[in-house]
Amino acid sequence: MFEKSLYDLIRGLRSHKGNESEYIQGILKECRTEVRSQDMDVKATALLKLIYLEMFGHEMSWASFHVLEVMSSNKHLQKRVGYLGAAQTFRSDTEVLMLATNLLKKDLSSASIPTMSLPLITLPHVITSSLALSLLTDILPRLSHSQPVVRKKTVVTLYRLALVYPETLRVAWPKIKERLMDADENSSVTAAVVNVVCELGWRRPQDFLPLAPRLFELLIEEGNNWMLIKIIKLFATLTPLEPRLVKKLVRPLTNLIQTTEAMSLLYECINGIIQGGIFSATENAGEGDELAALCLGKLRGMIVVENDPNLKYVALLAFNKIVVSYPALVSAQQDVIMKCLDDPDISIRMQALELVSGMVSTDNVASIVKRLMKQLRSSPINANELEDDGLDSTPIEPMADSDGEDPAEILIEDQRTSEMPPIPNDYRREVIARILDMCGQDKYSNIPDFEWYLEILVELIRLLPPRISSDTDLSNSAVESVPGTSLAERVGFQLRDIAVRVKDLRPEACRAAESLILISNRSALYPPVGSGADPVLGFVSWMVGEYSEYLVSPQETLNALIHDSSAALSPQILCSYLQAIPKVFLRIAAKASDGWSLSERAAISLLLARVVEFEETLSTHPNLDVQERAVEYLELFRLVTEALSSLQSDDRAPLLLTSVIPELFTGLELNPVAAGAQKKILPPEELDLANSINPRLSSLLQLSRTEEDAEFDDEAFQAFYNEREAAPPVKAQNLKASVPKVAEQLSYQAAEDPDISARRKAEKRERNRDDPFYIAQGNDDSGRSSPIDILRGSNGKDLDLDAIPIVDLRLDEIDIRAPGGQTEPSKQKRPKAKRRVEIAADENFDSEIPSSGNDSAPRSYEAGHAFPSGKPPRPRKNLLQVDSSGLHQLSLIDDANADRFNLQRREEEEAEMAAALKEVERMRLEMQRAAERVETAEGVDAEGTVVKRKKKRRPKGQTEDAQGGAAAEQPPEETAVVKKKKKKKKRSEEEAMRADT
C-alpha cells in the first residue's frame, strides 16, 4: 500500500486550490487509519502529516497516545517526530502525559546528545508541577554536562520548571549562578543564563544585585548584541535599587549608542536610560543634557534616515518618554514629529499626536492646531462607523535577522502609499480631545489669540463625530458614556468658560453662542449627521441668557429658544433653555419700553403669548426638574400677561415688566469659583452646628406619637373594626312560621304528607343520635345544642329568625379572633416581599459578605454576572499564559541554615515511594496466587498438573448415620480437593526455593 508523505500532502494542497477543505478531510481520514498501523515508519509519517495539519487548525488531541508510541521509538528520526507532536499538542491536562514520565527519564539519561536534547526541548511546552517534581533530579545534573549545547538547553528548561514549580529555583540557582560567574564558560550558555536572570529580575530585582559586577563585565566585554540587550534591561530594573550604578553605566551606554549599528540595540540603550532613571540622576551633573541630546539625535535618525514604520513607532515611543524631562529638546525635533502626524499608519499618528500634546507651547500651539484641523477637514465624517479598530492594514514585517545571527538589521524601505487614508471616528475623537487639552492647559495660558480660538471651537462643533450608541462597544470611547465628559460638552464648557473668564471677549463669545443657537444656522454649524453636538446647546443657551445685552438679534434668539423642536431636547438642555427664556424676553421688553407705544404693547403681548404656550407645553414634562422650572416661570409670565391686560395707559410699560422681574436676574456678577473654595469658608462663631435648632424637638416628636396613639385607640374606631354588631331580638311567635317558610323556599321537591315527613325525621334523628358530627334539635336529650339554642341563650326566649342579618362570608378575608375579642396575628399576613427586601439589602457591593459554609445564606453578585447554579464558571486559561505568581514570594538570598528544599529530602521521598510500590507489588502477587488457588479447585494446580482425587477414609467406629451427617455438612470430595491443593502448593514452593538456591 502506498502512503503519502508530507511532501505529497503539501503538493496535494497546492494542486487543490479552492477545494482544500475536502482534500484535507480525506487526508485526515487516511491519517486516522495509518496512525493505527503496527509499522512505526507508517505511524511516524502519519503523525508528521497530522502535525502539519494541526498548524492549520485541525485538532489532533485524539492521537496523543500514538504520539507517545512514536516518542518511545528507538530510531532518532521517529523519536524526533514524536517529541515534535508532544510539544505541539500536549497540554497540562493531557491524560497520557503521566505515562511519559519514565520515557522522559530514560531519554534524559541517554548518552546520545541528540536524544538527550529532545526532552529538554519538549519539556518547556508540556511541563506540569507534578512532572517537574519527578524530573528535577534528572535535569539538574545536566548543568554540569560536558557539552555546552546541553547546558544551554538545561538552563532554559529549568526556568520553565521554576514557573510551574518555584522550589526548582532554590535547588538550581547555585549551579545557574556558577555558570554565570565562570569566565571560561561558553558564550551561548552565558547568554542563556543572562536571559533567565533578566526574566527573573523584574519580579524580585533585589535578589540579583550581587550579580551587578559580573553583569557589568559582560556589558563591557561581550559582543553579542542580544545578550547586551538583556543586560541593559536588567540594569534598568537594578538602578532604582542601587543609585551608584548610574555613574558606572553612563559611559558604557553612551559608547554603545555612538558606535552600534544595530537599531534594536540602539533603541534598548535609549530605553534603558529612560527606564533606569539615568536622565534624572545625571541632570544636576551636566551630563544629562549631553546624553539627552545624543539620544534625541539618534531617534531623529531612526525616523528620517531609515524610513521604516517600525522604527518610526519605537522612536516616537521613546520621544514620549523623554519629553517629560526635556520638553525643550524634544520641541527642537518638531519638524520631524509634525510629519509623522500625516503618516498613513494610524498607530504612528497616535504616538505623534500624544507627543505634540506634551511639547506644546505658546509659540507652536497655533501651528500644531492648524495641522490637526487640516486633518479633520480633509476627511468627511463617517456616520456608519461607530467603532473602528484604527489599525493600519499594512502588515508589520520583522526587521531583525534570525536568533542565530547578529541583529544588524536589514532595514526594509517603507513602500506604503503616501495617500491619506480615511480618518476613523475614534482617531477623530482623539484629535479633538488633544486640541481641547492643549489649548485649555493651565487656564488657556498657551492661547495667543482668543478670537482665533473661538473660531476653532465653533469649527470643532461641526467636525464632531456621531454620538456612540448604547449598544456599541465603548471600550475605546468609554469617556463619552460618562455625563459631562463628552466632546460636545467639553467644547461647550470652554466656550462658556472663556466668556466668564475673559471679560473683554464676552461680546465675541456671545455672538458665537447666538450663531450656534439660531435654527437657521444648524445645518451650517453642526455636523451633517448624528446628534453628537446637541450638548453644546445647553452651554450656549446659558451664555445668551446671562449676557443677553451683547445679543445682536434678541428676537431671533428667543424664537429659536421657544421653537417647537426645542421641546424634544434632553432635560439638561431644556433646563438651560427655561433659564434663558425670561432673560432674553426681558431684554426685548426693556428695549421696547424705551419707546413704548400701542404697537410695542401688541408685539410684546404676542411674544408673551408664544412664551406662555411653550411654557405650558413643558409644564407636563416627565422630567421633574424641567417641570418645576416651567411651572415657576409660567406663573411669572402669567402675572406679566395680567399686568399688560390691566394696563390703562399705553404711554408707559408696566412696572412689573420693567423693574420688578428684571431685579430677579440682576445684581452680583457671576465669577468663576474654584473647586475647593467652599471648603475654605469658615462658619460664623455664633453658629453651633452641634446643637439642634429646636431643643424641644424630641418632646414634640414624642407628643405627636402619643396623640396618634390616642386617636388610634378611639372607642368608636375600635368598635367599628373590632366588635360585632348585636343581633336584633327575634320574636318567638315568628319562629315556627319563619322556619317552614325558609325551608319551603329552599326546597326543590314537591310538598309531601306531614305524617311521612314526621316519620322520616324521627328515623333520621334516631340514626344520628350517637353521631358526633350531627347537630340535633334543642329538645333532643343528647346533650348537644343547636345554633337556635345558642341564639336563645344569648338573646332571650323571643327569637326572630327573619331579623338575623345575612352576612356574606369571605373565607379569604376572615378575621380570626382570640377569646378575649382581640385579633390574633395571622400567619398568612407575613408577606414574602419583606424577605425579598431583606435579601436585596445584602446586594451591597461596598460591604464585604463573609463566606460561610451555609449554602442557603443569601449571596449577592455583580449585576449581570450572577451564577444561577451556585458555582462560578471556570475561567478559560490561555494555552500560552504561564502563572508565575509563585516566583514573587521566592527569595534567593535566605539564610543558609533556614529550612529549605534539598535533594536529601527528595531522595527520602523517592525511597518511600519505592517502598510503597514494592508493597503494592507484593499485594498484587498474593492476590494472583489466591486467584490461582481458586483455579486449582477445579482440578488443576498452579503449574497446570491434574490432581488425582482420593476418597476419604472413614474412621473406625463411626456409624453410618454419623457418616451421612458429616457428609451432608461437608462433601468428602471437596475436602479431599482442598487438602490435596495445599500439599501440592507447598511442594511447588519448596521446589522453587531449591531451584533458586
Q: What is the secondary structure of 158-210 as a DSSP string?
A: HHHHHHH-THHHHHHHHHHHHHHH-TTS-HHHHHHHHHHHHHHHTT-GGGGGG
CA angle, corner 889, sides to 886 and 890, nearest 5? 85
Residues 865-888 have a mean pLDDT of 47
State which amino acid sits at residue 223.
G
pLDDT band at 284 (very low <50, low <70, confident <90, very high): low
**Residue 518: DSSP 8-state:** -
975 lies in some domain: no
639 lies in some domain: yes
Burial 870-886 (b: 16+ CB within 10 A, else e): eeeeeeeeeeeeeeeeb
Q: How far is CA 465 from CA 42, 526, 838, in A?
A: 63, 11, 46
pLDDT value for 192:
93
**Residue 654: DSSP 8-state:** -
CA angle, corner 892, sides to 891 and 897, nearest 5? 95
Name the residue among 485, 474, 353, 487 with its Cα closest to residue 429: 487
Separation of alpha carbons 149 and 106, rounded Å: 19
Q: Are 765 and 777 in contact (CB under 8 A)?
A: yes
Domain residues for 598?
A: 553-566+578-671
pLDDT value for 659:
84
pLDDT value for 94:
87
What is the overall mean pLDDT for the chain?
75
pLDDT digit string, tens, across residues 885-942: 666 666 665 544 444 445 566 677 778 888 888 888 888 888 888 877 765 555 544 4
Q: What is the number of structural domains in the chain?
A: 2
Of the CA atoms within 13 Å of residue 97, those in its CB half-sphere come to 23
pLDDT band at 98 (very low <50, low <70, confident <90, very high): confident
pLDDT band at 120 (very low <50, low <70, confident <90, very high): very high
Q: Name 946's bridge partners.
A: 940
Q: Is the pLDDT of residue 722 over 80?
A: no
Separation of alpha carbons 511 and 552, rounded Å: 7
307 lies in some domain: no
Q: Is the pLDDT of residue 622 over 60?
A: yes
pLDDT value for 629:
93
Q: Is the pLDDT of residue 432 over 90?
A: yes
535 or 867: which leads in pLDDT: 535
Q: Are 368 and 438 in contact (CB under 8 A)?
A: yes
Q: Lowest-confidence range among 127-136, 196-205, 577-586, 955-964? A: 955-964
pLDDT band at 115 (very low <50, low <70, confident <90, very high): very high
Q: Is the pLDDT of residue 602 over 80?
A: yes
Q: Are 890 and 169 in contact (CB under 8 A)?
A: yes
pLDDT value for 377:
86
pLDDT value for 324:
84
Q: CA torsion sign, 335 to 340 to 344 to 346? A: negative
pLDDT value for 897:
41
pLDDT band at 286 (very low <50, low <70, confident <90, very high): low
**Residue 945: DSSP 8-state:** P
CA angle, corner 779, sides to 775 and 783, nearest 5? 55
φ, ψ (nearest 5 deg) of residue 506: -65, -40
- CA 759 to chain centroid, in Å, comes to 88
Q: Are 232 and 268 in contact (CB under 8 A)?
A: yes
**Residue 946: DSSP 8-state:** B
Q: Are 579 and 527 in contact (CB under 8 A)?
A: no
Residues 51-58 have a mean pLDDT of 90
pLDDT value for 76:
92
Residue 633's Cβ-count burial label (10 Å; 0-12, 13-18, 19+) is buried
**3-state DSSP: the chain helix, strand, coil percent, rounded to 5?**
60, 0, 40
The size of the chain, in residues, is 997
Could you tell me the three cell numbers for 990? 519448596
Separation of alpha carbons 605 and 609, rounded Å: 6
The residue among 89, 113, 131 that closes a domain is 89
Separation of alpha carbons 367 and 602, rounded Å: 54
Q: How far is CA 232 from CA 254, 323, 395, 504, in A?
A: 12, 22, 29, 56
Q: What is the residue whose three cell numbers read 421641546?
A: 567
Q: Lowest-confidence range among 150-164, 575-589, 696-710, 734-748? A: 734-748
Residues 168-175 have a mean pLDDT of 90
Percent of the chain with pLDDT over 90: 31
876 or 319: which leads in pLDDT: 319
Separation of alpha carbons 693 and 687, rounded Å: 11
pLDDT value for 116:
94
Separation of alpha carbons 814 and 804, rounded Å: 20
Element (H, E) at 980: helix 972-996
pLDDT band at 515 (very low <50, low <70, confident <90, very high): very high
Query: Of 414-428, 780-794, 887-901, which has the strongest mean pLDDT?
Result: 414-428
582 lies in some domain: yes
Name the residue among 492, 494, 467 with its Cα closest to residue 480: 467
Query: Of 143-152, 398-407, 471-480, 730-739, which has the strongest mean pLDDT?
Result: 143-152
Could you tell me the three cell numbers for 115? 536524544
pLDDT value for 107:
94
Q: Is the pLDDT of residue 879 over 50?
A: no
pTM over 0.75: no
Q: Lowest-confidence range among 116-130, 291-305, 817-831, 929-943? A: 817-831
pLDDT value for 859:
36
Q: Indicate the angle between helix axes 346-358 and 425-439, nearest 10 degrees.
A: 10
740 or 151: which leads in pLDDT: 151
Residues 791-806 have a mean pLDDT of 51
φ, ψ (nearest 5 deg) of residue 940: -125, 130
pLDDT digit string, tens, across residues 232-277: 999 999 988 888 888 889 899 999 999 988 889 999 999 888 888 8
Q: CA torsion sign, 360 to 362 to 367 to 369? A: positive
pLDDT value for 345:
87
Residues 114-136 have a mean pLDDT of 92
52 lies in some domain: yes
Q: Which residues, other chains included, contact 245 with Cβ-Cβ below 8 Å and sequence gap of 6+?
A: 212, 235, 238, 239
Q: Name 823's bridge partners.
A: 817
Residues 390-396 have a mean pLDDT of 39
Separation of alpha carbons 223 and 406, rounded Å: 9
Could you tell me the three cell numbers for 170? 532554590
Q: Is the pLDDT of residue 299 over 50?
A: yes
Separation of alpha carbons 434 and 351, rounded Å: 12
pLDDT band at 877 (very low <50, low <70, confident <90, very high): very low
The residue among 637, 652, 671 that closes a domain is 671
Q: Are 487 and 464 in contact (CB under 8 A)?
A: yes
pLDDT digit string, tens, across residues 485-500: 789 999 999 999 999 8
Q: Are 467 and 485 in contact (CB under 8 A)?
A: no
pLDDT value for 18:
85
Residue 333's Cβ-count burial label (10 Å; 0-12, 13-18, 19+) is buried
Q: How far apart are the first and last CA of the chain?
A: 54
51 lies in some domain: yes
Residues 794-810 have a mean pLDDT of 51
Q: Which residues, other chains included, contact 843 with Cβ-Cβ below 8 Å and sequence gap of 6+?
A: 860
Q: Is the pLDDT of residue 852 over 50?
A: no
**Residue 728: DSSP 8-state:** P
Phi-psi region of 466 (alpha: psi -120 to 50; beta: other; left: phi over 0): beta
Residues 664-678 have a mean pLDDT of 79
Separation of alpha carbons 965 and 788, rounded Å: 86
Could you tell me the three cell numbers for 524? 451650517
Separation of alpha carbons 128 and 184, rounded Å: 34
3-state secondary structure of 559: helix
HEC readout, 655-716:
HHHHHHHHHHCCCCCCCCCCCCCHHHCCCCCCCCCCCCCCCCHHHHHHHHHHHHHHHHCCHH
Residues 738-747 have a mean pLDDT of 41
662 lies in some domain: yes
Q: Lowest-confidence range among 131-140, 301-310, 604-613, 731-740? A: 731-740
Separation of alpha carbons 103 and 69, rounded Å: 10
Could you tell me the three cell numbers for 232? 541593559
3-state secondary structure of 802: helix
pLDDT value for 666:
81
3-state secondary structure of 817: strand
Q: Is the pLDDT of residue 79 over 70?
A: yes
902 or 654: which leads in pLDDT: 654
Residues 444-459 have a mean pLDDT of 90
pLDDT value for 243:
86
**Residue 471: DSSP 8-state:** T
The residue among 630, 654, 671 that closes a domain is 671
696 lies in some domain: no
**Residue 824: DSSP 8-state:** P
Q: Which residues, other chains included, contact 910 with Cβ-Cβ below 8 Å and sequence gap of 6+?
A: 137
